[in-house]
Amino acid sequence: MQLYVSSLDGQGLSMSNSYAKVMKNDALEYEKQFKILQKALKKKDKDMAFAAVQEMGVAIVDHRQAGRLKDDDGNIPDVAEIRRKAGFALDS
């Protein structure tokens, strides 16, 4: 998830927009919860693991919606649709 946000920056896109900050925070939260999940698995703590998985799911959904990688119906749009919504011209 962080790699995707980082790639936006690497393509010369401005990271000062609010959705990129949301996406970056969601990626960090996902990684945090993944580490908690790993600890829970070692401890065999199913409640802790379940809570971590739930939070990971929330972070993924927020990340995808912030980056317009998911529509309101839960469908993932194709690259052309993402570019159109973001205002980028399609390559001919």
pTM: 0.66
Q: Please give the mean pLDDT across all residues of the chain.
A: 78
Q: What is the pLDDT of residue 61?
A: 84
Burial class, 33, CB count within 10 angstroms (exposed 0-12 / middle 13-18 / buried 19+)? buried
What percent of the chain has a predicted confidence (pLDDT) above 70? 64
pLDDT confidence tier of residue 12, bands split at 50, 70 and 90 = low
The secondary structure of the chain, three-state, reads: CHHHHHHHHHCCCCCCCHHHHHHHHHHHHHHHHHHHHHHHHHHCCHHHHHHHHHHHHHHHHHHHHHCCCCCCCCCCCCHHHHHHHHCCCCCC
Structure tokens at 9: 């920056």
pLDDT reading at 92 higher than 50: no
The average pLDDT across 1-24 equals 67
Average pLDDT rounded to a whole number, residues 57-62: 88
